[in-house]
Chain A
Amino acid sequence: MATIFGSGIRRREDPRLITGLATYTDDVALPGLAYAAFLRSPYAHARITKIDTSAAKAAPGVVAVYTAADLEGKTGTVPCAWNPPNCDLKVPAHPILASDKVRYAGDAVALVVAETRAQARDAIDLIDVDYDPLGAEVDPEKAAQPGAPVFHDDVPGNIGFTWSCGGGDAAAEFERAEVKVKLRIVQQRLLPTAIEPRSAVASYNKGTGQLQLWVTSQNPHIHRFLCSLMLKLPEHRIRVVAPEVGGGFGSKIPAYPDEAAVSFASMQLGRPVKWTEDRSENYKCTIHGRDHVEYVEMCGMKDGRITGIRSTVYAGLGAYASTAGPGIPTILHGLVYSGAYEIPHIAVTVHGVYTSGTPIDAYRGAGRPEAAYLVERLVDTFARAAGKDPAAVRHLNFIPKEKFPHTVATGVTYDSGDYGPALDKALALIDYEGFRRRQAEARTQGKYLGIGIGSYIEICGLGPSQVAGAVGFGAGLYDSAIVRVYPTGVVRVYIGASPHGQGEETTFAQVVAQEFGIPVENIEIVHGDTETTPQGWGTYGSRTTAVCGSAVKIAAQRVKEKARKIAAHLLEASEDDLEWTGTAWQVKGVPGTAKSFGDLALAANVAWNLPAGVEPGLEANAFFDPSNFVYPFGTHVCTVEVDGETGEVHIERYVAVDDCGPHINPVIVQGQIHGGVIQGIGEALQEIAVYDDSGQLLSGTMMDYAVPKASQMPHVETDYTVTPSPVNPLGVKGCGEAGTIVSAAAVVNAVVDALAPLGITHIDKPLTPARVWAAIQAAKGGAR
């Protein structure tokens, strides 16, 4: 039969999503529903000297107004769930509603609950708060300097942690190396911008003591866990439902104070309460990503061999330590510095710094794009200094295929890899030699053409739970599935992960359909409800398919094995004498004996005639905990033309060659790569969250924050190599973040290559026309 595994069938979830038939959190309608709105601080850093809610409480339709005083003793604080070892992380209290101080523009000060959304919004304006403004500082490097305003009394100097990793002897290596390069790199703040803003509907039943929380979550089990801490409510009294979730990109991993406040209101009032942020609130209060100031160096030999890399990084944490915030610039960043290369000497130092900006947490790639960006910028800079071709330098330094599994200097063990063919394929697709000739010709005409290469590895498929514990991640990282077969042979699969756009309702059905030899239409994938799904840890870190998909496959295999026992019994044959035909168990070589999956589903469920010791029913569960992370890799190449007069960057071609192991569905893989690449190009060319000196977010709307538009983006040409992972039964590696990991580096490398004749060696992203023009002016010695 044709295999469904590997087939590019269309996403089964799309029809309901694109025809308005899907239910998002804000669509949840309940009898007696009240609506909440937050009063948020207009100041980045200020002492609260007075809050008067009396006028708001008297406003039409207002049910209740809560401030920190009302929560006192009844709730916990907002937890940070990632405490990396050996870095003395300081986690200052993050109150659900600000009490004495506000620490970023958007910090919640009060919650209004009213009969309608508009009434709640109107009442916000009637709350009278006096603030005593204090100094702001959003730049993480500046906030770490003496004399910066101090945001938390228990974190003098604002440095939340200093973390190091590495291997070899970088200090000695930088002494003896022949070629040394260094860069100061700013990795700007980004706004995740999921199309669906955050939303929460809390419904507390005072009779049963149960709280049901619908929330925009990438990980409802983690939300249940963290909400139990915030609300001081036992975990078994909380049901968390993530209905359709309209994108997250990491921003819907964290537990936010907002859903805790809304839940608190529902618990107080005994009626359901809904809150949905608007886009302005989303930009101010939903986590931001990146925010590094980096001093990075690379060294090596004149022959192009790279021998060392070291860094000092100021990583912004924002105003508070968000759920996974401290883990991102450390574990998910520092451990990736070897990239695709054998670099024996690595020294990484990261200062996590509290600032007066919105908290920083995971944004697509989370730490790994920052690492890939600085490594790939350094490789290009190093190649130029050594007088070598950047593609040749990459080839020379790649970890050779025969060395896998391979432990790099940062201590992590790459599961598998074969980096040369992906680079070669990408160069061939873009006609590297031909482009270099065209570039030389263009330069004689004063045109700026450039080509940029980015080769990457990614640590994803998070990950072994034992490692999660060792690196201070406050959760497990296994995942789970229950495969339940109905009497008619149709199947529901309950999974612990929580897809929100990645297409696992399709790909996981393909995995099960392949195992059972039944149509995908006969399989439903159920996710996003802690009441019905087994304990799992959510969808992020490109983990869902590698970890949860493996659990699905194992559970399906267990079902198939039970079906085999029943088939053997019905056929009065030994199990060893049976063979699987692809759709049925039969006596080897005797087609007339075939017991189809449907036959066996009925037999198992009615249980009229089962073998001794076999229980009725046909279902199985599995918890899969991988033995290692997976390490997808690839090379992206981009060609650009820069308008030397306006500074505009035009991407001519973008080629992505990725290796994420075998594809369950090549169309979905391609879609993931496309989306990731576009987010990386947005980061490279146009996205930046800008604050003013007083800590106000200036790019607080889509009129100023440049989310990529289709008309602005190039066609992304995709191709693949396939190197299966040995660490999971599907052989798959993550592809959800892959496109984002190195695309910004490829684009910036291309622009710097285009402008190399002017002596330009680096421009900080985003490469907006104004920035590129300014760099050209500076290089030309023009008046600025």
Chain B
Amino acid sequence: MKAVVETRDLTKRFGNNYALSGLTMTVPRGHIVGFLGRNGSGKTTTIKILLDVIRRTSGEATVLGEPTGSVAIRRRIGFLGEDKRLYSYMTVREMIAFTRPFFPTWRIETETRLLADFELPLSRKVSALSKGMRTKLGLLLNLCRHSELLILDEPSEGLDPVMAEQMLQNLVRQAADGTTIFFSSHQVAEVEQISDHIIAIEKGRVIFEGSLDHLRQRFRRVNLVFDDPPPPEAFRRDGVDRVIAQGRTISILASRNVDEIAELGPLLAAKSVDVQSVGLKELFLEKLKGDHANS
């Protein structure tokens, strides 16, 4: 099965508030997929629905081909929540011993290796662990499962830069072993670094998605400088996403047809034409503005 997660028109209503309004997305197998969105955009709600912690209002959602309510799929996935909280009264050893039997794909070699790498004290109670240690334990409990899919909600939240880097490294390693990683984040930098696929969400809907490299290669910013800039309507062409006028500069976000759009420069007698690549942050912010304008 090509997709590890699929949702169709997924909607979740809390009272009068729609946390998700028709979310349709596909998480492809074998990739590191970044679920990018602002705070309150619906990332955590989506993940909770996938785990059946919250029930959807309408629409469909499947994980590994099964409906989200299935208990069996939870044997094949891993989850690390934003809170990263575990049972405070258990020791590290007990937490591992408690979790291990649930997962038939658990590997002891990974457990041994990570215990050493993470330097986790076996006899210490969870309540006595620092946040960093707790995160490492939570990560260990997931990585040892070697599950088909690993879902993480804001994995580096609250972590110092060193720990965050270690976290990402471990995710990359897990991906190399065949686990599909689906992680939500509002930090563009880390999403841009390790993801090869992006799903961007705002106000409970997908605003863009696709292979990150594909997005990088498609989108360009074309800056045209004029003595007397023509009105934005003059730049309507196939592939023009947004046109911003700033003084003498017309800045165009182009999603394709870049050559033709750049030709508008000499065509409209621009003083200068400049074509730049677009980073994810810029793309995301532009799409948010566009979405705002449309809603």
Indicate whether A and B interact: no
